[in-house]
Every structure is written in structure tokens, then in C-alpha cells.
Amino acid sequence: MHQVPQPQVRHGDAVRRTRRADQALDTMAAEVRDGLARRPLPELPCKYFYDERGCALFEEITRLPEYYPARTEAGILAEHADAIVDAVAPVEIVELGSGVSRKIRFFLDAVRCRGWLESIQMLEFSEAALAESVARLQHDYPEARVRGVVGDFASDLAALGPGGGRLILFLAGTIGNLHPEELPGFFRQVAAVLEPGDGFLVGVDLVKDEACLHAAYNDSQGVTAEFNRNILRVLNARLGADFDPWDFDHRAFYDPKRQWVEMRLRARRSLQAHIPKAGTTLALRAGDEIRTELSCKYTRETFPSRLRGSGLELERWMTDPQDLFASALLRRR
């Protein structure tokens, strides 16, 4: 039950790669090739935004005045973290897509105060961000066993091992990056690494006024545009591609019918890009677009409807006073 405090763990011990992460370049090549082959709309998986520069640009986005989700969620968690911890009574906190892991601390502090903290796990695609979070959290929570798993939350949840006394955090509205049709399968995979009574806290960005959403993804300083173009730099660096990011305009818009924001890159001129390690060439005419991200928005009604048959139940729905963002506490039945 109670873990003996571990000595300071070196990165090499505490950060584990999933087998898929070891094949990361092959996987990336295949996903990029398949995505760019889609018609009418070529696509790139949005996880490839997040090299070191991409992580830094996302951090900058979270500080923009127009980008309400980050600070709104922080307000909700500051208010409710203690009650969530009391409801679930976890000994382990897990964060999916943890990035630099600041919000996890609301929960770690609450669990520590109650004397329950045994272990922390983070599943994150960016190895650099993960190594830094593991080192910081191990330093600040020396009584906990801290483990990082390099992996993709869409495919690598099994690497977390069996649950029991577990609270999984999936913050920032990142669930919006999954297509709505992927949610039932994703929830089933989450349920499989939880035991009855364990918790899953999901940050959900809400359907709202179109102008507000438009501003959040088209900031006046152009940080989001640079974040969007960064995916092409990642393809250049990792797959040997020859994109000129300045051949592309940033485009982001809300689709009220699908209730999602789409980000795209639109070619300013006709061009050919070679992506040698993906074994493909992309030919675009001026005005042609590549979809780089979906960010789905939900409501108090549409979100729980995706839980059916998953083994997870909605226990609490916590929002800010303006109903911009929600934290949904789900429990494994």
C-alpha cells in the first residue's frame, strides 16, 4: 500500500518509451503519408505540432488575451480540485498529454495534504516536455513515485498499467482534438485502465458565440498562425521535407454544424512539397488547404451522450460563471 520514498530518479529510469514511441519515425512517416493522401482535404495529425518550438508556442497561446480556455480551466480547477480529490480519494494521479504539467499540481497538493500521495504518471508525446515535468515533479513531490511514459493518448493508454485508486486528468480541452466518433472507443480504453470508483477528469471546451471562438484561434499577435505553420517545420526537420512555411496562410474557423473549430494551412501559390522519409510528394494549387487540427466543442447535453456503453458515468459538471469551459468528472462504474 504505502510506498517507500524513492531516491531521486534519473530521467533514464523514470521516462519510459512505449514500443510505439521507439518506432516513432516510422509511425510518423506512415501517418503523414496517409493523412496527406486524403481527398478532398489532406490532413496532418495535430500531435506533430509539438516539437520543442511547438510546445513553447502553445505555452505562449495559453497566455494570449483571446485564448480563454487555459485560464478559465485553471479557475475551475482551483475552485474544485479539493472536492474532486475528496470524491475519488486517489493515491495515484495520472495526466494524459501533460505538456509542462502545471495544473496537475492542484491535485497533487490536495492528495498530498490528505497523506494519500503514492504515485504520479504522465503520458506525453513530447519527450523533452515529459523529461522536464518528471524531473520537476520528482523534485517537488519526493514522496511520490514519478513515472513518465512517452506515448500517444489515443493508442498507448495500456502502458499505464492497471488502475486502482487512480485519478486520470485529461485537461485543456485536448479531448476536442479527437473526432467525435472516436470518443466512445477512447472512453472504453480509459475505462480499461481504471478500477470501479476511479476517476477521469476531462477538460471540455464548450459551444459558444462564434466571434469568441474565432478570436481564440485567430489571435491578433499571430502566435496561433505561427503555431499552425510550425507543423511544416516539424515535417522538414523529422521527415526531410522541403516546405516553406511562408507559402501558407493560417486559417481557423468555427463550423457551427459540426460544432468544431478547424485549423488549416492554405497554399498561397501552387507548389510541390517533397517529403522523402514519408515517400511522398504533395502538389497543391493556390488556395488548396491542409487540415491540421480539429478542436471539437461540446455542451452539457452532447458531451455525456458520448459516454454511453463506455463504463464511465458523469458525476460532476463544473463550469465557470460564463459557461466558456467545463471540467467533467467521470467515474468508472
Segment 219-278, which members bind ligand AVJ (CB under 6 A)? Answer: 224
Q: How far is the CB of 61 from ligand AVJ (least distance, A)?
A: 5
Q: Give 141 or 298: the residue with its C-beta nearer to ligand AVJ.
A: 298
Q: Give 61 or 135: the residue with its C-beta nearer to ligand AVJ.
A: 61
How far, rounded to the nearest angstrom, does the alpha carbon of residue 320 sit from its chain's CA centroid? 21
Strand 312-319 relative to strand 325-332: parallel, antiparallel, unpaired? Answer: antiparallel
Segment 93-132, which members bind ligand AVJ (CB under 6 A)? Answer: none
Q: Binding-site residue total for ligand AVJ (CB under 6 A)?
A: 11
Q: Give 92 or 124: the residue with its C-beta nearer to ligand AVJ.
A: 124
Q: How far is the CB of 230 from ligand AVJ (least distance, A)?
A: 11
Q: Give 218 or 280: the residue with its C-beta nearer to ligand AVJ.
A: 218
For 104-130, b where at least 16 C-beta lie within 10 A, e where not — what string? bbbbbebbbeeebbbbbbbbbbbbebb
Q: Give 57 or 160: the residue with its C-beta nearer to ligand AVJ.
A: 57
Contacts of 40 (CB under 8 A, 6+ apart): none
Contacts of 304 (CB under 8 A, 6+ apart): 314, 328
C-alpha to C-alpha distance for 36 and 324, rounded to whole angstroms: 33
Q: Give 200 or 227: the residue with its C-beta nearer to ligand AVJ.
A: 227
Q: How far is the CB of 83 from ligand AVJ (least distance, A)?
A: 24
Residue 168 grid coordinates: 486520470
The binder of ligand AVJ chosen from 18, 98, 138, 177 (CB under 6 A): 177
Q: How far is the CB of 57 from ligand AVJ (least distance, A)?
A: 9
Q: What angle do CA 263, 267, 268 make, to 5 degrees?
A: 125
Q: How far is the CB of 261 from ligand AVJ (least distance, A)?
A: 7
**Residue 217 makes contact with ligand AVJ by CB under 6 A:** yes
Q: How far is the CB of 136 from ligand AVJ (least distance, A)?
A: 21
**265, 252 Cβ separation under 8 angstroms:** no
Strand 15-17 relative to strand 145-150: parallel, antiparallel, unpaired? Answer: parallel
Helix or strand holding residue 274 (H, E) = strand 271-275
Site string for ligand AVJ, 136-175 (x = CB under 6 A): ------------------------------------xxx-
Q: How far is the CB of 113 from ligand AVJ (least distance, A)?
A: 28
The binder of ligand AVJ chosen from 225, 293, 312, 330 (CB under 6 A): 293
Segment 312-331, which members bind ligand AVJ (CB under 6 A)? Answer: none
C-alpha to C-alpha distance for 39 and 234, rounded to whole angstroms: 22
The dihedral through the CA atoms of 178, 180, 186, 191 has a sign that is: positive
Other beta carbons within 10 angstroms of residue 318's beta carbon come to 17
Other beta carbons within 10 angstroms of residue 55's beta carbon come to 21
Site string for ligand AVJ, 53-92 (x = CB under 6 A): --------x-------x-----------------------
Q: What angle do CA 190, 207, 153 make, to 5 degrees?
A: 20
Q: How far is the CB of 145 from ligand AVJ (least distance, A)?
A: 28
Binding site for ligand AVJ (CB under 6 A): 61, 69, 172-174, 176-177, 217, 224, 293, 295
